[in-house]
Amino acid sequence: MKTIASWRRLAGVVLAVAGMAFSGLAKDESRGGQGQGLVQRIATQLDLTEDQQAQIKNIFAAEKTGLQALAERLRDTRTGLRDAIHAPGATENTVRAAAAKVAAVEADLAVERLKLYGQISPLLTDGQREKLAGLEQHLDQVIDTFIARPAKAAAN
């Protein structure tokens, strides 16, 4: 059950990164700006107007510094957790402490997502909000399928 929650939190991170890409923050010239493709697909699936896209881009641009700092903190705490797991003499307490740091950053990220949703949701029509909910449900299904694969492989 904790694994499913972890994957769903990862889905939240993916959506936040998509938002950063929406504002041009995640564009990586060396990879041809692949983050832009995801954002454009979301904008197309939601049938966002140019005005809506511009407003959402401005919202994410205003949050750029905070989102980047959260992304860096998440990367650093995840690295710390991995290091704690592999450290010579690692204990349950040291791993739990490192995991708690990751959880704290993920909680901060969830609050930031709440704030962003609070700003973006009013810009969307009822139909677009319904489509967004459908996209989130689809992402949950994809994650659930991915999580179920190891169990299914072990059973065979």
Q: How far apart are CA 18 and CA 24, in angstroms?
A: 10
One-letter-per-residue 3-state SS of 69-115: HHHHHHHHHHHHHHHHHHCCCCCHHHHHHHHHHHHHHHHHHHHHHHH
What are 58-69's pLDDT values in tens digits?
Answer: 998 999 999 999
Q: Is residue 23 part of a domain?
A: yes
Q: Are 39 and 21 in contact (CB under 8 A)?
A: yes
Burial of 154 (0-12, 13-18, 19+ CB in 10 A): exposed
What are 25-80's pLDDT values in tens digits?
Answer: 444 444 444 456 777 888 899 999 999 999 999 998 999 999 999 999 999 999 99
What are 97-147's pLDDT values in tens digits?
Answer: 999 999 999 999 999 999 999 999 999 999 999 999 998 898 888 888 888
Q: What is the mean pLDDT of the chain?
A: 81
* pLDDT at res. 143: 86
Q: Is residue 150 part of a domain?
A: no
Q: Is residue 140 part of a domain?
A: no
- Work out how many domains the chain is built from and give that number: 1
